[in-house]
Amino acid sequence: MIHGFDVYRMYLAMKLHFTKDNYDFFQYDGKARANEENYHQRKDRWFFETLARKYTKEEVLELLLATFVLSEEPSKVWIGSIKTSGRDSWLVWKKLQQSFAYTFEQDISSISQHLEATGHTFNNLFETLGGHHPTLLKLFLKRRLNLETLIVLDIVLGYTKKWDKAMTDPLWESVSFKIKKYKPFLSVNRNKYLEVLKEKFCA
């Protein structure tokens, strides 16, 4: 059984993880320092209490994760909005996770179609000539690819380190930060997705 104060600490930890470079959710076991006496004086305490009664610890974790991952501004995520609309984000996130292998293949097909239409190669996707946004990033920003696909490609190919050195604009820095913070929550079979890429682009 989970209590409202537990949800509060998880919420604080998740918020720190997705907004602070020097905080790691896993290093601190998904908890943040908090004073229970002060917690009971918070006006929004009932939001945490309601979530604690309604969901298990694992479900709360997924609910919080989905909300922060899908948020454009994680620093502004409020527990009240999670209580009222967080379930919608959670359902969208769960659906993607449950069918991710299929979603990844769809995203790869979208990449392949783009390459065929432009006459570019797979390697061209990652080029950052002159510090400009590479094609892969542009496809993501146009919502033609999922964030999870960028993460899998980074796990397989390790491209983000080169991008971090080549680009210093705020837009990429924001995406790069979210990739780094979200990656540890995903369980990815690197070899499986490497084979998918080989079949699609090396055949």
Q: Which of 39, 72, 95 is the last residue of a domain?
A: 95
Residues 91 and 105 in one domain: no
Residues 82 and 136 in one domain: no
pLDDT, mean of residues 94-105: 93
Residues 35 and 127 in one domain: no
10-44 pLDDT per residue, tens: 999 999 999 999 999 999 999 899 999 999 999 99
177-200 pLDDT per residue, tens: 999 999 999 999 999 999 999 998
Binned at pLDDT 50, 70 and 90, residue 86 comes out as confident
Identify whether the C-beta of residue 104 lies closer than 8 Å to the C-beta of residue 193.
yes
Q: Which two tokens stand for residue 167?
A: 């680009």
Residues 78 and 34 in one domain: yes
Residues 18 and 90 in one domain: yes
Q: Which of 95, 116, 142 is the last residue of a domain?
A: 95
Positive or negative CA dihedral for 101, 163, 156, 123? positive
Q: Which of 95, 126, 157 is the last residue of a domain?
A: 95
pLDDT of residue 203 exceeding 70, the answer is no
Query: What domain range includes position 16?
Result: 4-95
Residues 145 and 195 in one domain: yes
Looking at residue 202, its pLDDT comes to 82
106 φ/ψ angles, rounded to the nearest 5 degrees: -65, -40
CATH number of the structural domain spanning residue 180: 1.10.220.50
Could you tell me which residue, 25 or 78, shows the higher pLDDT? Answer: 25
Identify whether the C-beta of residue 63 lies closer than 8 Å to the C-beta of residue 82.
yes
Identify whether the C-beta of residue 14 lies closer than 8 Å to the C-beta of residue 64.
yes
Residues 184 and 107 in one domain: yes
Looking at residue 50, its pLDDT comes to 94
Burial of 194: CB neighbours in 10 Å, binned 0-12, 13-18, 19+:
middle
- Please give the helix or strand (H or E) that residue 87 lies within, else none: helix 79-98
In 3D space, the residue among 94, 105, 110 whose CA is nearest the CA of residue 192 turns out to be 105
108-165 pLDDT per residue, tens: 999 999 999 999 999 999 999 888 899 999 999 999 999 999 999 999 999 999 999 9
Residues 91 and 122 in one domain: no
Binned at pLDDT 50, 70 and 90, residue 94 comes out as very high
Residues 47 and 70 in one domain: yes
Report the distance separating Cα 99 and Cα 110, nearest Å. 17
**What is the value of pTM for the model shown?**
0.92
CATH number of the structural domain spanning residue 43: 1.10.8.60
Report the distance separating Cα 11 and Cα 6, nearest Å. 9
What residue type is 1 in one-letter code? M
pLDDT, mean of residues 43-65: 94
